[in-house]
């Protein structure tokens, strides 16, 4: 009973945002609803929710995973510098899953496609810092 209430709260926190939160972020949000919640409980429940297919887990550089309440196949952009992850509004080729399933006989349920680069904030910051380097040379 108590266990499923925690899981429900964690699920609704992940579903309530499109910022692709880390486990830490989910922990801080969920703890406002469930005082005394531990980070370990959040990790365990996120793992179960991923196994159930109710949330998606994307492992990232440095072992930091990000979670997504949107489980329909969609694509992402991830910033190489700060790790921020955002949805990309690009056409998803659903027939890829079928093509690979037919070719391999594997039970393909979805595919993951990630674009990499610099997010808006990091791009501006880099432009600012490279701009000052140019000024220093004058």
Distance (Å, whole) CA 109 – CA 120 = 32
Candidates 45, 68, 69, 78: give the one binding Zn ion (CB under 5 A): 68
Q: Which residues are CB-contacts of 30 (< 8 A; sequence separation ≥ 6)? A: 6, 9, 10, 13, 37, 42
Whether the CB-CB separation of 56 and 68 falls below 8 Å is answered with yes
Candidates 8, 87, 102, 114: give the one binding Zn ion (CB under 5 A): 87
DSSP one-letter code for 14: H
DSSP one-letter code for 22: B
Size of the site for Zn ion (CB under 5 A): 9
Distance (Å, whole) CA 9 – CA 4 = 9
Minimum distance, C-beta of residue 21 to Zn ion, in the bound complex (Å): 11
Candidates 48, 50, 57, 79: give the one binding Zn ion (CB under 5 A): 79
Q: Which stretch binds Zn ion (CB under 5 A): 9-17, 67-75, 101-109, 124-132?
A: 67-75
Whether the CB-CB separation of 74 and 88 falls below 8 Å is answered with yes
Candidates 64, 82, 90, 124: give the one binding Zn ion (CB under 5 A): 82
13 touches Zn ion by CB under 5 A: no
Minimum distance, C-beta of residue 35 to Zn ion, in the bound complex (Å): 29
Residue numbers at the binding site for Zn ion (CB under 5 A): 68, 70, 79, 81-82, 84, 87, 119, 122
């Amino acid at each position: 009973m108590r266990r499923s209430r925690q899981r429900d709260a964690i699920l609704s926190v992940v579903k309530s945002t499109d910022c692709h939160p880390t486990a830490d972020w989910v922990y801080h949000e969920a703890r406002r609803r469930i005082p005394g919640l531990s980070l370990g409980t959040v990790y365990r429940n996120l793992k179960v929710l991923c196994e159930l297919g109710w949330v998606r887990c994307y492992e990232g550089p440095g072992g930091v995973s990000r979670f997504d309440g949107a489980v329909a196949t969609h694509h992402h952009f991830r910033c190489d510098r700060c790790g921020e992850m955002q949805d990309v509004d690009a056409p998803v080729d659903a027939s890829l899953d079928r093509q690979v399933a037919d070719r391999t006989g594997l039970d393909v349920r979805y595919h993951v496609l990630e674009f990499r680069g610099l997010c808006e904030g990091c791009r501006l910051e880099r432009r600012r810092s490279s701009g000052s380097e140019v000024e220093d040379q004058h």
